[in-house]
Chain A
């Protein structure tokens, strides 16, 4: 009897350990990681670029988000209970003042120089050049803007921040990148120049290697994204307007922030449609963290995401957020699918082979 129990627990521990190792450490194709890098890099570049005309207006000495203003919102130094105030004023809770390289750029000239330098880093990262270095720098740039102007941020920034953080951990430049293109060019040059190389080798340079770092990075994005969907769904379930089906109407009615005017959706039939769409959004966000792990359901869940997030982007005007959610979802797409679907770029379609 005791032996059976011992065997059971041995099997349990062993099975869990093997599952854990398979989930987190089994080497995998970095293709999806490269595409997530490209998408996240573009979003980061766009977000920071939109600060360009208003750099002084926000961050200058007499700016709308001056350091003095942030200091006076620092609830810790005011002795206030941060979370109780956070719940009182919800997401607009000013955060603690945190490190940002923009803090050290006092003059307008320096601020501009720092801004353009940050944009250059983000452009290099999006293009996948020196990705090991630029991925870390891109994270620092984005966090600097988030921490310098916390009152200007919304839903997209936390998603972008965690995706960039996870991209630093894996070979984000191994595919769909200039790094890859340069590596292929170097390899072709070497193979062409090598007289001892086999005939035709110049046309068959090495493909990017499968790696555990890619797996860890992709898994972190996947798990974090699933958790975020859980939070989104629970948040909606805790709100009456999402239960009653009217929430999407209230988003439609926000005249200032919407991108497209959907107020023609009124009347009895339209009310039913709005109710159905509202419930559809909640259902989707409830289903995502469960069904996305299922191989068969995954394409459907990811495909529906394009519709759901496209709709929310138009209605609520939060295009970068919707785009970023779709970019992060790419972490669930197998590398082989991406290679088959996307155009051959930088040798990315070539079947993977270990280096």
Chain B
């Protein structure tokens, strides 16, 4: 399956209406809150999904955990993933992505 997000500069673009699933890969780090386009969206301990809106919108994730290596990927389905962002040996309380729907 094709991934929905395409990286453009530091932002991501996607077709409006497409459903995106973002996974957090880490030993312990857990999602504690998620918002997209200023609305709370459902989340599980390590994933959240949303439908891309037209124009730019912010995806915000709140995270809890120790300083460690964390990777954010798009779950493209069929076992395929796409790397979005990551860091090593850090604790970041929150990360955000600008996603532009077109």
- The answer on A and B forming one complex is no
